[in-house]
């Protein structure tokens, strides 16, 4: 059976950097490792393929031979397949250790520090706020050190004890096949200590819930789905680990006049029959004032006029968008007798003009006539 292309196996381009190769292999190893997929022969095959591909491509000499000669260029140099651990790819053992650490919760000696979880906050904005930018104060949940136990988690008057399972190291070694894997102690969770008499206020966590106020600056030009990251404003880490981040997600509320289309704004403007027929000027709104728009004589419903530079300045840079005004010719209602008579008189004169006054209508009538003439009944 022919071997698959190593680049295809890892899902990377042929010019992928060492960092890209490492990320791709790490992702596949985490997904297909046999200990995560017991009894799954397909997952085991995928795992071996990824391991072989990474070992070859991570070694500059092997990768050059593979790029030039394909599998024939590396089968001999790898001793019957690139499956041996530690052969080529100087960082192979390091990345493999990192993968096992993620799979089994292990670390590299000593108690592990855990990064705090990221938080998400959804902020609703008006279209004006999103286009022009705004500053907002928000309140978010957080954790603070328990004053009753001073953060130790143990009840006042008692102290945490050394974990009897890991002897205070926070890690234990577990045999996985022919590997000896260091993982977080399941009893103490990597702290190296156990609490026999937990603090009643915090339940042994050493932290209690609280709230904090943050000022968030929303840049001009954001749109629904954009996120603003506030580094270090997420949940605090455990065992001295760094805090997570806070992601403020933008949701722009619908506007009664405008809709957004990328950098452009769109609106529909009603125009009277007389203005559409005779032409004229009307005022149209923008987000920063009014502008005058000239309507040429004979304007049809659906015509779109562009007002330059009255759209949105994109938050990621680029030219200012435009305002696109779509004309909707409004039919008059609640007519008086005099008005009806005038319209009837107008209709008579327009009919006599035929195609000269109603080019689209005449063309449509011709199309309908030809359609029916071509039908067989």
Specify the pLDDT at position 36: 73
Specify the pLDDT at position 357: 64
Asked which of 100-104, 136-140, 159-163, 262-266 is least confident by mean pLDDT, the reply is 100-104
Asked which of 54-68, 128-142, 256-270 is least confident by mean pLDDT, the reply is 54-68
Cβ proximity of 235 and 243 under 8 Å: yes
Three-class DSSP category at 338:
helix
Average of pLDDT values for 329-333? 91
For the stretch 58-82, pLDDT in tens is 888 888 888 877 877 776 544 433 3
Of residues 5, 115, 15, the one with CA closest to residue 66: 5
**CA-to-CA distance for 347 and 350, rounded, in angstroms?**
5
Sequence-distant (≥ 6) Cβ neighbours of residue 274 within 8 angstroms = none
Tell me the DSSP string of 115-129.
Answer: PPPPEEEEEEE-HHH
| For residue 365, pLDDT beyond 80 | no
**311 versus 353: which is more confidently predicted?**
311
* Average pLDDT of the chain to the nearest whole number: 81
Assess if CATH 2.10.230.10 describes domain 119-252: yes
**CA-to-CA distance for 175 and 156, rounded, in angstroms?**
39
Specify the pLDDT at position 180: 67
Specify the pLDDT at position 102: 47
Residue ranges of E strands in the chain: 119-125, 134-145, 161-162, 171-176, 179-184, 193-194, 207-218, 227-230, 246-252, 259-261, 264-272, 280-286, 289-295, 304-307, 323-330
For the stretch 184-230, pLDDT in tens is 788 887 778 888 889 999 888 888 888 889 999 999 999 999 999 99
Question: The whole model's pTM is what?
Answer: 0.56
| For residue 112, pLDDT beyond 90 | no
CATH architecture assignment, domain 6-104: Orthogonal Bundle (1.10)
| For residue 84, pLDDT beyond 60 | no
Specify the pLDDT at position 268: 96
The residues spanned by each domain of the chain are: 6-104, 119-252, 259-330, 337-373
Query: What band does 85 get if pLDDT is binned at 50, 70 and 90?
Result: very low
Specify the pLDDT at position 78: 44
Token duo for residue 368? 């309908």
Proportion of the chain above pLDDT 70, given as a percent: 81
For the stretch 232-248, pLDDT in tens is 888 877 666 788 899 99
Sequence-distant (≥ 6) Cβ neighbours of residue 136 within 8 angstroms = 123, 215, 216, 218
259-330 has which CATH code? 2.60.260.20
Query: What band does 103 get if pLDDT is binned at 50, 70 and 90?
Result: very low
For the stretch 274-308, pLDDT in tens is 999 999 999 999 998 999 999 999 999 999 999 99
Specify the pLDDT at position 80: 39
Query: What band does 28 get if pLDDT is binned at 50, 70 and 90?
Result: confident
């Amino acid at each position: 059976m022919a071997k698959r292309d190593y680049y295809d196996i890892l899902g990377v381009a042929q010019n992928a950097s060492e960092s890209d190769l490492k990320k791709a292999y790490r992702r596949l190893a985490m997904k297909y490792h046999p200990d995560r997929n017991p009894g799954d022969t397909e997952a085991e095959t995928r795992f071996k393929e990824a391991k072989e591909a990474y070992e070859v491509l991570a070694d500059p000499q092997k990768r050059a031979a593979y790029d030039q000669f394909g599998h024939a260029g590396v089968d001999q140099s790898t001793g019957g397949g690139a499956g041996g651990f530690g052969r080529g790819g100087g960082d192979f053992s390091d990345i493999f250790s990192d993968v096992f650490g993620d799979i089994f919760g292990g670390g590299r000696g000593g108690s592990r520090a855990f990064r705090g979880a990221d938080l998400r906050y959804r902020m609703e904005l008006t279209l004006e706020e999103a286009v022009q930018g705004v500053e907002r104060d928000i309140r978010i949940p957080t954790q603070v050190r328990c004053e009753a136990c001073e953060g130790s988690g143990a009840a006042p008057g008692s102290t945490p004890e050394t974990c009897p399972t890991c002897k205070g190291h926070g890690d234990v070694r577990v045999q996985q096949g022919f590997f000896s894997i260091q993982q977080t102690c399941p009893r103490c969770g990597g702290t190296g200590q156990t609490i026999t008499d937990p603090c009643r206020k915090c339940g042994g966590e050493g932290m209690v819930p609280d709230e904090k106020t943050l000022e968030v600056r929303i840049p001009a030009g954001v749109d629904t789905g954009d996120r603003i990251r506030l580094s270090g404003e997420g949940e605090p880490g455990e065992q001295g680990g760094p805090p997570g981040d806070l992601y403020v997600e933008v949701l722009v509320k619908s506007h009664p006049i405008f809709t957004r289309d990328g950098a452009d704004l769109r609106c529909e403007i009603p125009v009277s029959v007389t203005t559409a027929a005779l032409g004229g000027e009307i005022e149209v709104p923008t987000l920063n004032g009014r502008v005058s728009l000239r309507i040429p004589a004979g304007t049809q419903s659906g015509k779109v006029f562009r007002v330059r530079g009255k759209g949105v300045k994109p938050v990621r840079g680029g030219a200012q968008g435009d305002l696109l005004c779509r004309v909707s010719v409004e039919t008059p209602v609640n007519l008086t007798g005099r008005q009806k008579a005038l319209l009837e008189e107008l209709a008579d004169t327009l009919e006599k003009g035929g195609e000269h006054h109603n080019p689209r209508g005449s063309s449509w009538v011709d199309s309908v006539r030809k359609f029916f003439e071509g039908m067989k009944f």
